[in-house]
Structure 1
């Protein structure tokens, strides 16, 4: 008779993953495979095999590869949608903090790899284009855009277009670093370098809109 664990279950029997755990596992596996092979070259069969699941199980959770990529992109963009915590700080302090967080995240090794994937694959994949449209990238759904809009409504900043302002701020702070990493022409900046560039971007911004 098979040995039993102290809890009464058979020793060595793998624990059954919950639906949420299976979903998270598939997203993680798919993310790794997309980065290694590319979106178009990766099949649902590949993902199922690498995840140790049947193809039927995978399709029960994600009926299409595009839906799996959508879930991956949602996880990838999560830091850009987290609510801005003010904590009683001045708007300038909040802006510095938010931009430092977003820029450092965008410049991380995994995020640079994901950006390269989107650049390489989007022109050739309707799936990715549809997912990007559904995600609303660059259309006011980010936390920075929403916070700038709220502050403009309060009269803190003189901004007519919070979406454009957010994009301008982000690329003023991250642009040189981002392009250098994407093109592999410069090393990853230190946190101190990022903080200094963010401070310059915020100073310029505040001089124009306060």
Structure 2
């Protein structure tokens, strides 16, 4: 494909994903047909079926693309747990603040009783790969000796949970819930320092001889 045709294909794909997300929210997953999605997005049925042969494939793409943008960035280098977690925490808070993330969870929660496979897609294609990237970073810090973490899965859950429990989950339950940028930064900082206080390996402090000399 030429660069032009690649760009057009990406634009049409974005239109399809946007239309599908809106229709899933309006009508529910079951009542939304691919034909209706094609009509709403303004593309032909042939174009839609070429990119997404089934509604399940389209939903998988929505999940993957919603989570992937943050996961595509390189993980911070190991060596400074505060700097590294600060970078990850800011990325995570930004990801959770996107409207499409809230929409995605609403679709999954609403359709869970009839379509449990949507929750499986959300977990396996979205949340789990992102979680593994955070787990991998903590494991790298552990191997570098900057932290001592016996259970990196638990530590990753603790860190991400401290952020999502304030920044994200209330948006699903409290109408008009908004968190200022300053408050988000504070939430991330507190999560970072809580994890650092729990797991960071203390650096070398002054020796007994040095402390005695200071007193003299």
TM over 0.5: yes
Conserved? CA contact 2:97–2:167, under 8 Å = yes
**Superimposed CA distance per residue, residues 158-197 of structure 1 (whole angstroms, 9 cap, x where no aligned partner):** 1233232222111112303323221115631111111111
- Find the aligned partners of 2:6 and 2:162 in 1 and give their Cα distance: 48
Conserved? CA contact 1:181–1:187, under 8 Å = yes
Quote the residue 2:118 is aligned against.
128
Question: If the length of structure 2 is used for normalisation, what is the TM-score?
Answer: 0.77
| Among candidates 183, 188, 195, match of residue 185 of structure 2 | 195
Stretch deviating more after TM superposition (41-50 or 98-107): 98-107
Quote the residue 1:109 is aligned against.
99
> 1:79–1:163: structure 2 CA closer, same or farther, 3 Å change rule?
farther
Question: If the length of structure 1 is used for normalisation, what is the TM-score?
Answer: 0.79
Tell me the matched-pair count.
196
SS of equivalent to 2:38: helix
1:92 to partner: Cα distance: 0.4
> 1:110–1:83: structure 2 CA closer, same or farther, 3 Å change rule?
closer
Quote the residue 1:100 is aligned against.
90
1:118 to partner: Cα distance: 1.7
Quote the residue 1:55 is aligned against.
45
Conserved? CA contact 1:38–1:117, under 8 Å = yes
SS of equivalent to 1:138: helix
> Which has a greater percent of helix?
2
1:142 to partner: Cα distance: 4.0
- Find the aligned partners of 1:88 and 1:180 in 2 and give their Cα distance: 32
> 1:29–1:136: structure 2 CA closer, same or farther, 3 Å change rule?
closer
1:141 to partner: Cα distance: 5.0
SS of equivalent to 1:202: helix
Quote the residue 1:163 is aligned against.
153
Structure 1 unaligned segments of length 5 or more: list them: 1-14
Structure 2 unaligned segments of length 5 or more: list them: 201-216
1:47 to partner: Cα distance: 0.5
1:202 to partner: Cα distance: 1.4
Stretch deviating more after TM superposition (24-33 or 199-208): 24-33
Conserved? CA contact 2:67–2:130, under 8 Å = no
> 1:19–1:168: structure 2 CA closer, same or farther, 3 Å change rule?
same
1:53 to partner: Cα distance: 2.8
Quote the residue 1:33 is aligned against.
23
**Aligned residues: CA RMSD:** 2.8
Quote the residue 1:7 is aligned against.
none
Stretch deviating more after TM superposition (193-202 or 52-61): 52-61
Stretch deviating more after TM superposition (197-206 or 26-35): 26-35
